[in-house]
Amino acid sequence: MYTSRRSFLKKTAFAAAGASMLSSELFAAAKKKNVIFGLQLYSVRNEMGKDPEGTLKQLADMGYKYVEHASYGNRKFYKNYTAADFKKLLDGLGLVMRSGHTPMSPQHWDNTKKDFTDAWKYTVEDAAVCGQKYVVSPWLDKSWYKDLDTVKWSMDVFNKSGELCKQHGMKFGYHNHNFEFSTQIEGKTLYEHILALTDPKLVAQQMDIGNMYGAGGRGLDIIKAHPGRFELMHVKDEIKSTKGEMEEPYESTVLGKGVIGTKEIVDLALKSGGTTDFIIEQESYQALTPLESAKEDYAIMKQWGF
């Protein structure tokens, strides 16, 4: 049967487009097999404070497989659990904790000895016992970013923490809030300095796409400018604050219901951000309870193909 050149080219183009689309879909599916999503337990902080075991069980029953802690001090998780005990609790519920938040502060570094204090060394040791892959500091003390020289010094400490974590098979990580974007030092944001002065082989960045929003940080722009730098992400969505006059103009909400374009950021992070660990965090809940919010967020992530 005679087939015109136009018809042939049209069919060929459709076939090529279909193959390309299938290839992209297969590639995206393959990439998602190598990533995880979980919940930052600060999302259910009051519940964890009252009943850690019961709360974790409810999360496991929802389908969560991964969690990130937000409470460690005096060698205890959530006040009562040693590292071994908390690992046993998680194991019993089928949960894995790949990362956790413990703020690194001036008390953790002895400048006279040029070494970490026992408190930080124990933090790293206990994280390893729990099976963590990342020890994440979610804060930078103000005394550590007074000027560029101070920032250079503190980022050197970050890199040294990365070396310490590496000895235990882990990486150190940093999680941003908003001040990293509202603070300018010699013509650049503090966050730009943090990215420039930390060794990616030692210090992982956990981008919180919600915290930055009110201070002008935009997840899409930052990933495009620094591809491959964000091994972890706090997956959030934001709406205008419902609480009137606040320090923060925005508050978190259920994924997909806010203004920051969360799915687009997540998709770019999968494609070029180097992101493997997507951690949901919701701190404000509007009409829902924290656990109801966690359940809805889980369902949204599943809809997004995770």
Strand pairing report for 96-101 and 134-137 = parallel
Residue 18 pLDDT exceeds 50 = no
The label of the residue with tokens 């013509």 reads 187
Confidence of residue 242 (pLDDT cuts 50, 70, 90): confident
Between residues 120 and 16, which one has the greater pLDDT? 120
Between residues 48 and 8, which one has the greater pLDDT? 48
Residue 111 pLDDT exceeds 60 = yes
Tell me, what amino acid is at 25? E
Report the pLDDT value the prediction gives residue 245, as an integer from 0 to 100.
Answer: 52
Between residues 8 and 91, which one has the greater pLDDT? 91
Q: Give which of 100, 94, 41, 39 is closest to 280, Cα–Cα.
A: 39
Report the pLDDT value the prediction gives residue 246, as an integer from 0 to 100.
Answer: 54
75-84: average pLDDT: 98
Structure tokens at 224: 């495009």
Dist CA 97 CA 37 (whole Å): 11
Q: How far is CA 261 from the centre of its chain?
A: 17
Between residues 278 and 28, which one has the greater pLDDT? 278
8-25: average pLDDT: 41
Dist CA 121 CA 104 (whole Å): 11
Model pLDDT for residues 143-187, shown as the tens digit of each residue: 999 999 999 999 999 999 999 999 999 999 999 999 999 999 999
Residue 15 pLDDT exceeds 90 = no
282-292: average pLDDT: 97
Model pLDDT for residues 31-40, shown as the tens digit of each residue: 567 899 999 9
Between residues 243 and 68, which one has the greater pLDDT? 68
State how far the alpha carbon of 248 is from the alpha carbons of 161, 214, 298, in Å.
31, 7, 25
pTM tops 0.95:
no
The label of the residue with tokens 């495009």 reads 224
Between residues 150 and 8, which one has the greater pLDDT? 150
Structure tokens at 63: 């389908």
Report the pLDDT value the prediction gives residue 22, as an integer from 0 to 100.
Answer: 44
Q: What are the residues whose beta carbons fall under 8 Å from the beta carbon of 126, sequence distance 6 or more?
A: 72, 75, 77, 82, 83
- Average model confidence (pLDDT) across the chain: 91
Q: Give which of 291, 298, 279 is closest to 69, Cα–Cα.
A: 279
Report the pLDDT value the prediction gives residue 19, as an integer from 0 to 100.
Answer: 42
Between residues 4 and 187, which one has the greater pLDDT? 187
| Residue percentage of the chain with pLDDT more than 70 | 88
Q: Give which of 124, 70, 73 is closest to 234, Cα–Cα.
A: 70
Residue 4 pLDDT exceeds 70 = no
Confidence of residue 219 (pLDDT cuts 50, 70, 90): very high
Report the pLDDT value the prediction gives residue 248, as an integer from 0 to 100.
Answer: 82
| Residue percentage of the chain with pLDDT more than 90 | 87
Dist CA 10 CA 12 (whole Å): 5
Report the pLDDT value the prediction gives residue 23, as an integer from 0 to 100.
Answer: 43
236-245: average pLDDT: 86
Confidence of residue 50 (pLDDT cuts 50, 70, 90): very high
Report the pLDDT value the prediction gives residue 152, as an integer from 0 to 100.
Answer: 98
**Candidates 3.30.70.270, 3.20.20.150, 3.40.50.1370, 3.90.1200.10; correct CATH number of 35-303?**
3.20.20.150
39-50: average pLDDT: 98
Report the pLDDT value the prediction gives residue 21, as an integer from 0 to 100.
Answer: 42
